[in-house]
Every structure is written in structure tokens, then in C-alpha cells.
A and B are shown apart, each in its own frame.
Chain A
Amino acid sequence: MSERENILGRIREALKVGALVPGLHGHGQPASASPLSSPRQWLPKVGDSFDEQLALFAKNAAELKADFQLFKSADEARQAINSLRDKEKWQRVGGHSGDLTDAICPTLNLPLLRTDRPYDVHELEACDAGISECDALIAQTGTVLVTNRSAGGRALSVLPPHHVVLARRDQLVADLPAAFALLQQRYATNYPSMISFITGPSRTGDIERIMVLGAHGPKKLTIICF
């Protein structure tokens, strides 16, 4: 018998004796375990209107020390990314092809390492920034949702010291349940092999519980939304 069968066999044997459902004091079955009930009702409140949600995202991003920049047009976004380039003296950036990146990145006039084609990670490591799109922005938590399909692979959003996200306003979703619903709707037949909820720039508190940004991932996270 394989270890798989051994382990499953022991589990089945063990489960012959039932265990009480927590918190119900021996009465009944868990009502809320139905897949239809959403955890939304317990989670932190998110406003109903788009403007409230946008304001909440901005507030969360600020708390997380992410730089959230909101613009009216692609032109303004181009200016913003150019000024980042000048301020940080970028020499080389990583990126991928997509509607937003293709519209914005050429303005940088910098060598671009494409990570949606076979690439050398040493070269990506040498980039000053990684510029990617995303799947959604989540108002409730100030999170950027990316997948390796939407955001140029697994490493682009975490290896360079600065991660710049390009997003459209209509990519904002209210909360985590909405984000999971979106993932299901978009990918259920074939999920990308990596899905990441990025909530602020990389950080650690491992030295005296004092927060330091940029532990192993990016020190900076800029979200350019237009």
C-alpha cells in the first residue's frame, strides 16, 4: 500500500467518530458553511459608491506607505511616470506588453526588459523598476491583485526595488469577496499558476518589531491609476 492510501485510511478510520461543531454546544450543523453565504457581512465595511471606495483605497494605500496617484488621463499618467524616472534616475526597467503598459511605457524612452518573453533574471535584478498591470485594486484592504498572466510573470512585481502598477479606474473592486469572484469569473477554467494579493511594499518587523520597508521585495510600490 502506498503512503497515500495509508494516510487516507487512517483519516477515514479517525473520522468514524464525529466531532462537535465549535461554538454550537453540541446542537446542530454549521449553518454558515453553505457555499452561498458570503463573508462580506462580517468583514470591514466598504462604502457603496465608487467614490467612497476610491477614497478608501487611497486611505489604505497611504497607511501602507504605498504611493497611490490618481489621474484624469493617460497623458497625466505618462507625465507622472516620467517624473518618477527622472527623480530616481532609472536606467533600465522591466515590463511586459499589455494595453496600459504599451500605452504608457514607450514615453520613458528607456531600455525595457520584457518579462512576458523568456528573459534572464540577472538582467531583471539589475532593473531599477518593474512596471506591470494588475487584475484589480481592492478598496477594502488597499491591495493590488496580480497574476503571473496579467503582470508579466512571477518575478517582475517582486524582484526590482520599485514596483510600479498601472491600473484603470474601473479595475477598482469593493472587497475581498468581490476580488475572488472576479478571479473565478476570469480564470476558473485555467488559473494562472501564481495569483498574488500585494498589500503595500515589502516589509519586515523582525528586528525589535520595528517596521522596515523593503525586506526582500520592493521598497517602493507606486500605483498609477487613470
Chain B
Amino acid sequence: MSFVSQFKAQAQVMTGDLRHRKFIRRALRNYETVRDARKASFQDWPGARQRAAETKWQAVNHLDQHLEQFAAKLESRGTKVHWATTAAQAREIILKIVHDKQAKSVIKSKAMTSEEIHLNDALEHAGLNVVESDLGELIVQLRKETPYHIVFPSMHLTRDEISELFQRELGAAATNDPEELTMIARRALRKKYLTADIGITGANFAIAETGMISITENEGNARLTAALPKTMISLLGIEKVLPRMDDLALFLPLLATMGTGQQLTCYNTLYSGPRQPGETDGPEEWHVVLLDNHRTELLADAEQRDALHCIRCGACLNVCPIFRNVGGHTYGTTYSGPIGSVITPHLRGLQEWKHLSSASSLCGACTETCPVKIDLHHHLLQNRRNAAKQKPSFGEQTAFKLFAFAANRPTLWNFGMTMARIFQPLQGAVKGSMLDPAKAWTKTRDLPPIAPESFKAWWRNRK
């Protein structure tokens, strides 16, 4: 099945699943309240967004300089920096480190980049034991699923489903208390931290000025991942840079506000090297893998370059009526929701993924919410335009040519309208059926009745 027919089939199932829709709405209700309260606590929220957008613009539009500075700073303190153009290269780099270390087990903290390059599959294939340590990620890993949402990976699951999963996979006792379920995961992972050979993390920001990565999390799992194993690997997209360390004074609260409605996430941690002389714990070796994986292609599209400003807060997913109705898995992509619909065509092929840009009501809620002001809904339109330009549809072109032909000829147009008025009542009989030529469109929509007289006629006849 092609990606588009898969999407359509899955979307149809999910939009009909009222339980799912209600569950997601309920899960997001509290988020909306606290997020709005947090936004209101800023002295100037629009000013903060504008500043953030400009800072990211600076970072991305001087990306080469920032990356060089970032890498040089890291290397000066003993970190090994690797560069990967493709997902395959990134996997190879990481597998080689793992082999060199003769590692048997890996503990991971949440990293969407690792989902992007299917790192777990590659590591498991190489015979390693891989454990996700973020609770939500662990849950979807045990279910052999992909994350449902980039910030809340397991938000689609009920506590009963999670309880069943833990009983089956972890041999846990039955309970549907969220606290007890969390403690089951805590106990199960403790040993893994202490024995894992390698810790793998992502990063939320890469600070060029000081050569640091910044990791945002609530659970403490990334802190442990970066403290206990002997070797640490961090995989991040090249667009993660921020010019200066104190840019974080704005970006950390911004990310927390939009991501979860917190003032600040529990742990925001900066790493600038492996264990330094005189330090008593932390990894002996640290590898930072910088991933391109088609980001430079998105960079080359100046019109949509701002999509690289994304800080993966997930806010645009939360407000998107499409996401909330079809759910995260329907997209079939690593990044779902509006930002996923914008960037997936760049990362994985425009023709194969253009349907995501059409699956939008263009309400603009995403653009309005995005803390770094990415022009998301216009980018959806641009993707549609680019796709049509690259591979025009014969049917559509013919239809519009006919329309233009008729619309330029008043007699023909009036004749057509008269005929349409006569025949429209008949349309109801075939609407949505095999006989209806516009079935794809009319199946779920009503055509408004054509006015009994045209505006021109009404004007002429008025008293």
C-alpha cells in the first residue's frame, strides 16, 4: 500500500474512533490550561516569541560558522565529534563505537533523531540489549510501536493498557495506579543504568559559543544516562544550534511553556565534555554525532528554511485539529502534526508525502502557537504548490482549463448555470455513489444549492 492510501485508510478508522478522540481531548485539556497560564505570566509573550524566532534565524542562517565553533569547542575538551550525511552513516558511526567498546547493553534517553534513523533496530540487530529509559518511550518500545507524539510518546494509552503491558513484558503485578506503574518502571530500569556499557542521548540545543549540548527532561533519566555508563553518545540534528549560552535564558522557559505548560522542565542540563581531570564521575568518552539526513536540503529552500528553527516543543501537534482527530500514528512519520507535514516531504520525498500537506484545514492554529514563529500553514500550501508544479495532475489541469474557458465566455457561463440549476436536484440521487464524477469530494460534503438567480440578474430586476 502506498503511503497515501495507508494514511487515508488509517485516518478513516481513527476519525471514527470516538473513544480515542475523547481520550486525546481529555489528555490535552489540562495542558491547555497550564500552558495559557504560563504564557500569561510572561511580561511580553509576543516579544519573547519574536526574539526567539530571530535568534533561531541567526543560528540557522549562519549554520556553518556555528557548527564549526560548536565542534571545535567540544573537541578542545576531549569530545569526539562525528558528522553524518545520511541515516546509514549515523548508524554506522554508532555501531562502530559500540563494537570498539565491546558493549553488550545500551541505555537510551529520549531522542527523536534516533527514531529518525531507526537506531534501535540497528543496535538490536547487532546483538545489543537496548532499553529506552524515558517512561513514555519505554512503554512504546515494549509495545513495539513508534512514539505517538514527539513530547508525549505514550499519551494514546490508558493506564489499563499500560498495566497489562507491564504484566506481560516486565512480569509486574497488576495495578492501574499511575504512581505504582511509574515505580515499576523505575525499579526495572535502575539495574540497567548501573550495568549499561553505553548511554545514548539526544539534545534539545547545541550551544556554539561554549560547545555544550542542552538536554531538557522531567524524569532524570537523561541525567542518569549521562552520568553512569562509561561511554556516552549524543545524536543531534545539525539545526539544533543556538549562538550563545545565555540564549537559553529565553529558550528553556519557552520550550517548557509550550511543551508541557511548565515554567521550567525539571532538569535542564548542559554537557560540555566527558569526565574532565579532577572530576569523579561521568563518561570517560563522549561522542557527539551531528546528523544531516536531508536537513541541508530543507536549508536550501529559503522559503521554508525557518522550518529548521523548530525546537520540537510539540505545541503545534497539540492544537492541530487534524492531529487530534487522526492521531499521531496515522501520519506514518517520525515527526507528526503540522511540523511533520511540513518537513517530511523534504526529508523523505515530496511526491510520496505531499498528501500530509493536503490533510489540513489551513486554520493556522499551528502558526499562531509556534514559539519560534514558523510559518507552518503557509509551508503546507507551498508544499502543495511545489508538488503540483513538479508533477502536474492532468485531470486537475484540464478541469481548470475548462473552467477558465467557460468563465471567460458569459453566454456559455450563463447557459451552464441555468443547466446546473435544473440538474442540481438530481445530483442528490447520485451523490457520493459510483455515478458521481466528483465522488471523492462529495462523499463527505454537501454542495450548497445554486442561487435561484445570479447577482447580475437580481441587480437588473431590482425595483
Residues of A within 8 A of B (CB): 2-4, 6-8, 10-15, 17-23, 30, 32-33, 35, 38-45, 60, 115-119, 121-122, 125, 141-143, 148-149, 152-155, 158-159, 175-177, 179-181, 183-184, 191-210, 212, 214-218
Chain A's interface: helix, strand, loop or mixed, by majority? loop
Query: A147 to nearest B CB, angstroms?
Result: 9
Alpha-carbon distance A2/B134, docked complex (angstroms): 34
For B216, the closest partner residue in chain A by CB is: A197
Q: Which of A12, A39, A158 has the most CB of B within 10 A?
A: A39
Known pairs A4-B71, A7-B290, A41-B44. 8 more at Cβ < 8 A?
A: A125-B190, A153-B282, A203-B219, A204-B218, A204-B219, A206-B152, A208-B159, A217-B219
Query: A222 to nearest B CB, angstroms?
Result: 15
Task: From known contacts A19-B302, A42-B44, infer whether A141 and B253 are also in contact, taking CB-CB under 8 Å.
Answer: yes
Task: From known contacts A6-B85, A43-B249, A197-B268, infer whether A22 and B53 are also in contact, taking CB-CB under 8 Å.
Answer: yes
Which of B54-62, B114-122, B336-344, B353-361 lies at the interface? B54-62
Query: A5 to nearest B CB, angstroms?
Result: 9
Residues of chain A within 8 A (CB-CB) of B45 are 42
27 A-B contact pairs sorted by A residue (CB < 8 Å) = A7-B238, A8-B67, A14-B300, A18-B61, A19-B57, A22-B57, A22-B373, A22-B375, A30-B54, A30-B58, A32-B51, A33-B58, A143-B264, A154-B227, A159-B224, A193-B272, A193-B276, A194-B226, A197-B269, A199-B267, A202-B267, A207-B154, A207-B162, A215-B186, A215-B221, A216-B224, A217-B223
Residues of B within 8 A of A (CB): 27-28, 30-31, 41-45, 47-51, 53-55, 57-58, 60-64, 67-68, 71, 77, 82-85, 89, 133-136, 139, 152-155, 157-159, 162, 178-179, 181-183, 185-186, 189-190, 194, 210, 212, 218-221, 223-224, 226-228, 238, 243-246, 248-250, 252-253, 260, 262-276, 279-282, 290, 292, 296, 299-300, 302-303, 305-306, 309, 372-375
Please determine whether B89 and A3 come into contact, CB atoms closer than 8 angstroms.
Answer: yes
Residues of chain A within 8 A (CB-CB) of B302 are 17-20
Residues of chain A within 8 A (CB-CB) of B273 are 193
Alpha-carbon distance A154/B139, docked complex (angstroms): 27
Alpha-carbon distance A19/B228, docked complex (angstroms): 43
Query: B185 to nearest A CB, angstroms?
Result: 8
Residues of chain B within 8 A (CB-CB) of A121 are 194, 228, 281
Please determine whether A19 and B305 come into contact, CB atoms closer than 8 angstroms.
Answer: yes
Residues of chain A within 8 A (CB-CB) of B31 are 209
Q: Which 6 A-B pairs have the closest CB atoms?
A: A217-B220, A215-B219, A30-B54, A206-B136, A154-B227, A14-B300
Please determine whether A155 and B228 come into contact, CB atoms closer than 8 angstroms.
Answer: yes
Alpha-carbon distance A204/B68, docked complex (angstroms): 36
Please determine whether A23 and B281 come into contact, CB atoms closer than 8 angstroms.
Answer: no
Alpha-carbon distance A204/B157, docked complex (angstroms): 15
